[in-house]
């Protein structure tokens, strides 16, 4: 029997290599970003900013290391750069006990350096001359400038809890008075169509809780689950309007019974998709047990019903499988690759289950490195230890070129979708599909080099009169607490199913001008936003994609009401 190591990569040495490689890449990207203009931009029109920029970029690097890398691993991380012309900086970054010490060391180094040194010496001497050669005064001013940025002043936990509070307030506005007024405007519109067409898919959120804390997760605060749920009537509603349903939310491991019941209840649905984080696959046995339960539910459907299958979507990326340190500095994988290997190994044995790994786009997506490095390589290694060979069957590019987050200024097409097989199951391809991360929730704090962003797509949307497509997915998402929201804009609610009834909610879906405008990335929403807020330019600068921008602009119920009014006025004008 194959050894199934549930402790995943139990070897701290292997974990430490992954941890250091990941942090080193992030460190390098951040230093490059700072030295190639970001710090200069932060300094703005401060006097002598050209001379200050390099030093402050490395002061940023010092605090970045303190904030993001466990002390035991800093030296190893920096060792890769110690043969470069900046070796002295690596030494300072490693040995300085504080920002002040780093700055003093930097000043002393250049003061003692030979005349024919690089430009940084001249910069430092000019700054020093402004303080009449008083290095303590210069160090104090540099530290004051640094502190004015207020960077790394909070722990991630504090920053996340602040973002969580904002999220809670935002969801607190869901179906508030302003939202109700908005929906009343929609209700008053004529329903020329009168009948809801079939949806390509519908979503169901049984619960939002999740014990994990992935750094890219869009949810920190989780709306509570209502006690008054009536899944059966919800299932019948969904069944009447689509052949494809997705169960999603937080970690649904403890809510699988709802999924099985849906499979047994929904006669017309052919595709039962579920998004899981893979945490359930703690052993081969547990994995088989879970997959067998899914198949059992499929087999329990009456023989006279249309055939159905399961689309098992498992999150698999550098964030879910990130190597992190606990408070004692011991390393572990957030969700071990070993668990994903359990699923990849088991799924091809069940013809009723199609496995799809959902991946977040990063710099590796720009070449076949996607399959030879990073988390995919770790999966190949784990499967190899069990005697499996993995073969990539196909890969397909994204529709648009995107910017490589690791190489500023470099654009290209990237691998969006792929399929692969295990050699023992050549007829059971496994899919891998990748998407970008919008800067919602925790992802607000991700560094620019960590994932692909859609800034160019945003610029294109802002430039064009007509939408280039790919707006918000406005199919419906049904929450067990009664909320009905848009599929990919879960802050836009069309009512409470239990209070408003299905007919009314569906008629809103047919008539809501705001949903339509979001689906089309209608630029008139920008103007309507500006009529009541004066920070549109700031929002555009902050946005990681058009979805992120339009999400930000519609987060407040008052804005949603105003936009709906203006869209209705525009339609009758
Ligand atoms: S990304 Fe998924 S697994 Fe991670 S915290 Fe969010 S819901 Fe949980």
Question: pTM for this one?
Answer: 0.93
What pLDDT, on the 0 to 100 scale, is given for residue 468? 63
- Final residue before a domain boundary, out of 418, 453, 488: 453
Q: Which domain, by its residues, includes 321?
A: 195-453
CA of 55 to the centre of ligand 1 (A): 38
pLDDT of 101 higher than 90: yes
CB of 210 sitting under 6 A from ligand 1: yes
pLDDT of 5 higher than 50: no
Mutation choice for ligand 1 from 206, 320, 442, CB with most ligand atoms inside 8 A: 320
Confidence of residue 322 (pLDDT cuts 50, 70, 90): very high
- Closest atom of ligand 1 to 213 CA is 5
CA of 417 to the centre of ligand 1 (A): 21
What average pLDDT is seen over the chain?
Answer: 93
Q: What average pLDDT does this structure show over 324-351?
A: 95
Indicate the number of domains in the chain: 3
CA of 265 to the centre of ligand 1 (A): 28
Q: What average pLDDT does this structure show over 233-257?
A: 94
- Paired sense of beta strands 309-315 and 271-276, if any: parallel
CA of 277 to the centre of ligand 1 (A): 7
CA distance 274 to 349: 18
CA of 350 to the centre of ligand 1 (A): 26
In a domain, 181, yes or no: no
- Closest atom of ligand 1 to 249 CA is 7
CB of 277 sitting under 6 A from ligand 1: yes
CA of 448 to the centre of ligand 1 (A): 20
CB of 214 sitting under 6 A from ligand 1: yes
- Helices marked H in 272-318: 284-299
CB of 213 sitting under 6 A from ligand 1: yes
| Pair 408, 546 in one domain | no
Confidence of residue 32 (pLDDT cuts 50, 70, 90): very high
Supply the CATH number for residue 405's domain: 3.20.20
pLDDT of 476 higher than 70: yes
DSSP 107-164: HHHHHHS-TT--HHHHHHHHHHHHTTT-HHHHHHHHHHHHHHHTTT-S-HHHHHHHHH
| Pair 435, 535 in one domain | no
| Pair 133, 232 in one domain | no
Confidence of residue 227 (pLDDT cuts 50, 70, 90): low
The pairs formed by 381-384 with CB atoms below 8 angstroms and a separation of 24 or more are 382/9, 382/337, 382/338, 382/340, 382/341, 383/341, 383/344, 383/345, 383/422
- Final residue before a domain boundary, out of 396, 430, 453: 453
pLDDT of 8 higher than 50: no
| Pair 121, 231 in one domain | no
Mutation choice for ligand 1 from 208, 209, 219, 444, CB with most ligand atoms inside 8 A: 219
| Pair 234, 119 in one domain | no
In a domain, 289, yes or no: yes
In a domain, 67, yes or no: yes
Percentage, residues of the chain above pLDDT 70: 97
- Closest residue (by CA) to atom 4 of ligand 1? 214
What pLDDT, on the 0 to 100 scale, is given for residue 470? 77
| Pair 428, 561 in one domain | no
- Closest atom of ligand 1 to 277 CA is 3
Confidence of residue 226 (pLDDT cuts 50, 70, 90): low
In a domain, 430, yes or no: yes
In a domain, 444, yes or no: yes
For residues 418 and 395, is the Cβ–Cβ distance under 8 A? yes
Q: What average pLDDT does this structure show over 405-427?
A: 95
Percentage, residues of the chain above pLDDT 90: 85
CB of 70 sitting under 6 A from ligand 1: no
In a domain, 418, yes or no: yes
pLDDT of 45 higher than 70: yes
371: which residues sit within 8 A by CB, 6+ positions away? 377, 380, 392, 418, 420
- Closest atom of ligand 1 to 335 CA is 3
CB of 217 sitting under 6 A from ligand 1: yes
What pLDDT, on the 0 to 100 scale, is given for residue 219? 86
What pLDDT, on the 0 to 100 scale, is given for residue 573? 81
Phi and psi angles of residue 371, each rounded to the nearest 5 degrees, phi first:
-95, -10
What pLDDT, on the 0 to 100 scale, is given for residue 494? 97
| Pair 145, 231 in one domain | no
| Pair 438, 529 in one domain | no
Confidence of residue 10 (pLDDT cuts 50, 70, 90): low
CA distance 484 to 477: 6
What pLDDT, on the 0 to 100 scale, is given for residue 452? 96
In a domain, 479, yes or no: no
CA of 211 to the centre of ligand 1 (A): 8
| Pair 352, 262 in one domain | yes
516-566: pLDDT as tens digits: 999 999 999 999 999 999 999 999 999 999 999 999 999 999 999 999 999
What pLDDT, on the 0 to 100 scale, is given for residue 224? 73
What pLDDT, on the 0 to 100 scale, is given for residue 435? 96
Strand boundaries in 25-126, DSSP class E: none
Mutation choice for ligand 1 from 156, 212, 213, CB with most ligand atoms inside 8 A: 212
Strand boundaries in 402-468, DSSP class E: 402-403, 411-412, 415-422, 430-435
| Pair 417, 540 in one domain | no
CB of 431 sitting under 6 A from ligand 1: no
CB of 16 sitting under 6 A from ligand 1: no
| Pair 376, 235 in one domain | yes
Q: What average pLDDT does this structure show over 287-314?
A: 98
| Pair 213, 287 in one domain | yes
Torsion angle, alpha carbons of 53, 55, 58, 62, to 10: -130
260-282: pLDDT as tens digits: 999 999 999 999 999 999 999 99
What pLDDT, on the 0 to 100 scale, is given for residue 116? 86
CA distance 22 to 25: 5
- Closest atom of ligand 1 to 211 CA is 8
541: buried, middle or exposed (CB in 10 Å: 19+, 13-18, 0-12)?
A: exposed
153-191: pLDDT as tens digits: 999 999 999 999 999 998 889 999 999 999 999 999 999
CB of 4 sitting under 6 A from ligand 1: no
What pLDDT, on the 0 to 100 scale, is given for residue 329? 85
CA distance 87 to 109: 12
Q: What average pLDDT does this structure show over 396-417?
A: 93
- Closest residue (by CA) to atom 6 of ligand 1? 217
- Helices marked H in 347-398: 369-372, 374-385
CB of 220 sitting under 6 A from ligand 1: no
In a domain, 127, yes or no: yes
Mutation choice for ligand 1 from 217, 249, 279, 321, CB with most ligand atoms inside 8 A: 217
């Amino acid at each position: 029997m194959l050894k199934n190591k549930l402790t995943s990569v139990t070897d701290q040495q292997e974990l430490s290599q992954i941890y250091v490689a990941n942090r080193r890449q992030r460190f390098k990207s951040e230093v490059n970003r700072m030295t190639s203009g970001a710090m200069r931009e932060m300094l703005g029109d401060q006097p002598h900013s050209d001379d200050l920029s390099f030093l402050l970029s490395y002061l940023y690097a010092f605090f970045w290391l303190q904030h993001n890398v466990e002390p035991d691993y800093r030296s190893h991380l920096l060792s890769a750069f110690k043969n470069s012309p900046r070796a002295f900086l690596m030494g300072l970054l490693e040995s300085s006990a504080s920002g002040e010490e780093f700055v003093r060391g930097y000043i002393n180094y250049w003061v003692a350096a030979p005349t024919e040194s690089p430009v940084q010496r001249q910069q430092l001497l000019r700054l020093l001359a402004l303080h009449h050669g008083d290095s303590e005064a210069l160090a104090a001013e540099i530290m004051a400038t640094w502190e004015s940025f207020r960077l790394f002043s909070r722990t991630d936990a504090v920053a996340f809890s602040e973002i969580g509070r904002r999220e809670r307030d935002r969801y607190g506005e869901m179906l508030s008075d302003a939202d109700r007024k908005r929906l009343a405007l929609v209700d008053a519109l004529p329903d020329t169509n009168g009948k809801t067409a079939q949806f390509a898919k519908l979503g169901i959120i049984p619960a939002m809780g999740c014990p994990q804390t992935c750094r890219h997760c869009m949810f920190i605060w989780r709306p509570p689950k209502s006690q008054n749920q009536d899944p059966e009537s919800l299932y019948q509603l969904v069944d009447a309007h689509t052949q494809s349903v997705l169960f999603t939310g937080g970690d649904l491991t403890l809510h699988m019974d709802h999924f099985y019941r849906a499979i047994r209840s929904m006669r017309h649905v052919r595709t039962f998709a579920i998004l899981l984080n893979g945490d359930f696959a703690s052993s081969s046995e547990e994995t088989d047990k879970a997959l067998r339960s899914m198949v059992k539910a499929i087999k329990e459907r009456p023989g006279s019903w249309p055939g159905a299958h399961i689309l098992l979507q498992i999150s698999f990326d550098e964030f879910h499988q990130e190597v992190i340190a606990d408070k004692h500095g011991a390393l572990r994988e957030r969700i071990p690759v070993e668990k994903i290997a359990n699923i990849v190994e088991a799924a091809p044995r069940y013809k009723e289950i199609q496995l799809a790994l959902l991946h977040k786009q990063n710099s590796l997506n720009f070449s076949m490195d996607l399959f030879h490095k990073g988390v995919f390589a770790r999966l190949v290694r784990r499967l190899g230890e069990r005697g499996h060979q993995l073969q990539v069957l196909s890969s397909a590019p994204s529709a648009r070129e995107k910017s490589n987050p690791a190489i500023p200024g470099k654009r290209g097409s990237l691998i969006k979708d792929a399929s692969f097989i295990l050699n023992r199951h050549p007829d059971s391809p496994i899919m891998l599909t990748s998407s970008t991360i919008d800067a919602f929730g925790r992802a607000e704090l991700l560094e620019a080099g960590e994932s692909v962003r859609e800034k160019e797509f945003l610029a294109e949307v802002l430039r064009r009169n007509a939408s280039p497509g790919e707006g918000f997915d406005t199919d419906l998402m049904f929450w067990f607490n009664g909320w009905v929201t848009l599929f990919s804009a879960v802050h836009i609610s069309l009512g409470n199913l239990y209070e408003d009834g299905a007919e009314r909610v569906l008629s809103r879906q047919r008539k809501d001008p705001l949903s339509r405008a979001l689906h089309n990335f209608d630029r008139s929403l920008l103007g309507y936003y500006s009529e009541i807020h004066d920070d549109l330019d700031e929002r555009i600068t902050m946005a990681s994609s058009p979805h992120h921008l339009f999400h930000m602009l519609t987060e407040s119920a008052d804005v949603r009401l105003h936009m709906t009014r203006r869209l209705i006025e525009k339609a009758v004008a």
